[in-house]
Amino acid sequence: MTEHRHGHAHGGHHHHHIDPNAGDRRVAGAIAVNLALTLVQIVGGLVSGSLALIADALHNLSDAMSLIIAFAARRIARRPADAAMTFGYGRAEVVAALVNYTSLILIGLYLGSEAIARIFAPEPVMGWIMVWVAGLALLVDLITAALTYSMSKDSVNIRAAFLHNLADALGSVAVILAGIAVLVFGWAWVDPLVTLAIAGYILWMSVAQIGGVIRILMLGAPPDLDTAAVLDHLRGMDGVASVHHVHLWQMQENTPALDAHVAVHEGRWSEADGIKSRIKAALGERFGIGHVTLEMECAAHACEGAAAIGHG
């Protein structure tokens, strides 16, 4: 799922031409439709006795939830930095994605256990309700996916929402097929089987995506930057005697940041400002690191025995 990430460091964000409020209206519309659909699916699932329909409904609800979280986080993330949040509010989207994937993992586990119980104790299912309601769901999922697709390229959050919708569309197709199997062959066991598949997919997707989100919150180095290469590049620059106390992290998705202590060769202290601006330019051009904070030291008075990375 990382194919979108790599192009960003250099090209900046692509969404300046979309008015953020127009994006908000789209997301709000998608939320309303998904909530209405969830209600229809749950009622349909209860009436028809189809667990797969309820699974699809919960997946849709998680979609609506992810969109609500994404919507709120987009609004919060635009707030400028202030005295309380000196780094700004951009991470709201990452926190939102974490909450979202965590809730999806719980939903997946619940559905899986229900489906397994059903396989051992099958219950009668009304196929025609399944087919009609899932058909409606498929239509809504495709419309929502179309609405969120263009916005999914540069937000971890909206991308999560888009992927959910795609998965939902596939889930709805599976429920339609299960309904047909019940109608034509009377195979009630196909219903929990499809439920199990939907639950498995929800779990697989969430577990795969949550790692990148946790990495950002743990202040991990950006996955597409080689920390050793950045350090080597710094050490190889003219005038740099040594580099230590390096921290490389992401403020939010696609915004790498670095701070470090840089020791300047003895006798070249007068050039410290020039060396500093060259380092900043090089990090920006070569690695796309926009937020750089450097503490310049003279090699004669540099921190003794300092670790290259961290504050050891």
**CA of 101: how far to CAs of 7, 206, 209, 213, in Å?**
24, 5, 8, 9
- The answer to whether 157 and 97 have CB atoms below 8 angstroms apart is yes
Question: Among 6-15, 148-157, 299-308, which is the least confidently predicted range?
Answer: 6-15
Copy the structure tokens of residue 58: 């919960």
What's the pLDDT at 2? 36
Read off the pLDDT of each residue in 132-144 and give the average, rounded to a whole number: 88
What's the pLDDT at 21? 66
What's the pLDDT at 17? 39
**Nearest Cα residue to 97 out of 161, 32, 150, 153:** 161
Range(s) of the chain covered by CATH 3.30.70.1350: 227-301
Task: Please give the biggest Cα pair distance in the chain.
Answer: 87
> pLDDT, tens digit, for every residue of 149-187?
776 666 766 776 777 777 778 888 988 999 999 899 988
State the Cα–Cα distance between residues 162 and 39, nearest whole angstrom: 20
**What would the CATH number be for the domain defined by 2-217?**
1.20.1510.10
State the Cα–Cα distance between residues 57 and 141, nearest whole angstrom: 11
Residue with tokens 């199990």: 196
pLDDT band at 97 (very low <50, low <70, confident <90, very high): confident
Read off the pLDDT of each residue in 245-263 and give the average, rounded to a whole number: 90
**Nearest Cα residue to 294 out of 306, 311, 277, 308:** 277
Instruction: Evaluate if residue 256 carries a pLDDT over 70.
Output: yes
**What would the CATH number be for the domain defined by 227-301?**
3.30.70.1350
Higher pLDDT, 56 or 1: 56
- Looking at every residue in the chain, the average pLDDT score rounds to 83
What's the pLDDT at 6? 36
Range(s) of the chain covered by CATH 1.20.1510.10: 2-217
Copy the structure tokens of residue 26: 């789209």
Instruction: Evaluate if residue 143 carries a pLDDT over 90.
Output: no
Higher pLDDT, 253 or 13: 253
Instruction: Evaluate if residue 18 carries a pLDDT over 70.
Output: no
What's the pLDDT at 126? 87
pLDDT band at 8 (very low <50, low <70, confident <90, very high): very low
**Nearest Cα residue to 74 out of 212, 253, 293, 288:** 253
**CA of 177: how far to CAs of 110, 131, 197, in Å?**
23, 8, 13
